[in-house]
Amino acid sequence: MRIAVGGIEHETNTFAVGCFGLTELDDFHHYRGDRLIRTAETRTATGGIIHEALERGHDVVPTYYAMATPSGTISASAYQTMKAELVDRLTEAMPLDAVALAIHGAGVAEGIDDLEADLASAVRLAVGNGVAVGATLDLHGNLTQPMGDSLDLMFGCHYYPHVDMYERGEELVGALEDMVNGKFSPVNHIERLPFLTPTSGTAQPPAGLTNERCAEAERLDGVIDCTFFHGFAHTDCGPAGASITVTTNGDAELAARVARDVALDVWARRESFTVEAVSEHSALTIAKRIIEEKGGPVVMNDTADNPGGGAPGDATHLLRSILDANPERTCFGFVYDAATATAAHEAGVGAVINISLGGHHDAMHGEPIETEAYVKALTDGRFIYTSKMLEGVPANLGLSARLVIGNVDVIVTSVRDQTFDDEVFTLHGIDVTTYDLVAVKSSQHFRAGFTDLATEIVTADTPGLTSRTLDSFTYEHLDGPRYPLDPELSYP
């Protein structure tokens, strides 16, 4: 079959507009032609789609794919420009048998709360009803029925960390092929829950239990897919929230019934998704005890300053506590601070420099740390990820430096991103297995690269744009009440 590949992927933290402003066209990475085809060598959604399509002997047409690190609301001009290019390229590619999109599900642009529904509708209009259109989506998508009305197939990843995006891309191609060959006629039902889900990994309950329920549902005759979408709680827009999405072979009643059954199970366990916040000071005390009892490395994640959820990556709350405690064999990777990284490069290895580190975006994330630092190593910030989530994906964090502040090694970069695996440490001459305490800025994705290395993982939740303490945010645009903001809320 002739299959086009493209999409627009962005997790929009609407609260981040005050920190960064709007997300513009230049903030996105743009993939066309051979550059898009080469993602087949990476463990990404487009990688899985393209690799599987080529393996099956299909004619793959790369159109346009854009993605950006999570940030604030997308400007209207940026979104319209990207949408227009995707639609134009799809129109030029006709005739097509199928379209495979890589999208997120929690995209928001100026004036458009449901970016993916708008995009899917435009794609459907461009290619017509005779073309099979499917998409991979992020587990944190805020799914809506209008998305399901324009898309034939919606394959969200099941795991957080998202280690199965590649496999979901592969599955999508197989399902599109079966649909084109007339083996089934998909019907989608999205059961939305009035529930803002805090960050919830799937390797353990409660989210892991819901994945088991979804897997059971997929074994029912006629059910093609059942996915628990956690939603993205840091998007203040109408449809924000969790959902269960079910696709069946032409049976709308079955899709609705299965989705409702799984949703009721999630709702019955909603209290178990809430985790008590642990301050940076308490997290350090816990980590110290574990190190004394079991040794290191203990990995501590700064969940509230996760660039992978739209935070700035330069919060100083946890870093300041670590520097004040000054524990031996400790490293912190990494802080986004282009000015400090540039100053280190200008001074050179071996220099001692005065720095104003982090805290450059807003008061919520802490004040800059005024201190003296020894420049231990300098790099260009380039390496290849090796974790199960992003294996093969090239990273470019810009001019970067390893600074030594007291007993603590601190990596500073010129590009904002979260820590996925230990490659950024290795690049700067740090073997994390020889350290007692390793601190990273990430909520869950770091687990794909660090779980097997860590004695234990301790989460610190400080003030920040990705804090799990949802009542610290002011929601103004939700289309109704949400648990846990409204603890007395009932469903259905």
Does the residue 133 lie in any domain? Answer: yes
Does the residue 71 lie in any domain? Answer: yes
Same domain, 269 and 352: no
Does the residue 490 lie in any domain? Answer: no
Same domain, 358 and 391: yes
100: confidence class by pLDDT, cuts 50, 70, 90? very high
Same domain, 356 and 260: no
The residue from 252, 273, 294 where one domain ends is 273
Check if the beta carbon of residue 180 is closer than 8 Å to that of residue 132: yes
Task: Using the predicted structure, report yes or no on whether residue 119 has a pLDDT greater than 90.
Answer: yes
Same domain, 430 and 453: yes
Residues 428-475: pLDDT tens digits? 999 999 999 999 999 999 999 999 999 999 999 999 999 999 999 999
Give the per-residue pLDDT at 276: 85
Does the residue 327 lie in any domain? Answer: yes
The structural domain count of the chain equals 2
Same domain, 429 and 296: yes
Apex CA 26: angle with CA 339 and CA 449, to 5°?
65
Rounded average pLDDT over 345-353: 98
Does the residue 483 lie in any domain? Answer: no
Does the residue 482 lie in any domain? Answer: no
Same domain, 257 and 316: no
Same domain, 186 and 288: no
Q: Which of 122, 123, 118 is nearest to 133 (CA)?
A: 123
Rounded average pLDDT over 371-380: 98
Rounded average pLDDT over 337-357: 98
In three-state form (DSSP H/G/I as H, E/B as E, the rest C), the secondary structure along the chain is: CEEEEEEEECCECHHHHHHHCCECHHHCEEEEHHHHHHHHHCCCHHHHHHHHHHHCCCEEEEEEEEECCCECCECHHHHHHHHHHHHHHHHHHCCCCEEEEECCCCCCECCECCHHHHHHHHHHHHHCCCCEEEEEECCCCCCCHHHHHHCCEEEECCCCCCCCHHHHHHHHHHHHHHHHCCCCCEEEEEEECCECCCCCCCCCCCHHHHHHHHHHHHCCCCEEEEEEECCCCCCCCCCCCCEEEEEEECCHHHHHHHHHHHHHHHHHCHHHHCCCCCCHHHHHHHHHHHHHHHCCCEEEEEHHHCHHHCCCCCCCHHHHHHHHHCCCCEEEEEEECHHHHHHHHHHCCCCEEEEEECCCCCHHHCCCEEEEEEEEEEECCEEECCCCCCCCCEEECCCEEEEEECCEEEEEECCCCCCCCCHHHHHCCCCHHHCCEEEECCCCCCHHHHCCCCCEEEEECCCCCCCCCHHHCCCCCCCCCCECCCCCCCCC
49: confidence class by pLDDT, cuts 50, 70, 90? very high
Same domain, 15 and 89: yes
Residues 233-258: pLDDT tens digits? 999 999 999 999 999 999 999 999 99
- pTM, 2 dp: 0.96
Does the residue 474 lie in any domain? Answer: no
Whole-number Å distance between alpha carbons of 102 and 141? 12
Does the residue 477 lie in any domain? Answer: no
Same domain, 100 and 9: yes
Which sign, positive or negative, has the C-alpha torsion 260, 261, 267, 273?
Answer: negative
Same domain, 382 and 243: no
Apex CA 333: angle with CA 138 and CA 331, to 5°?
140
Same domain, 293 and 241: no
Which structural domain, as residue segments, surrounds residue 309?
280-467
Same domain, 269 and 284: no
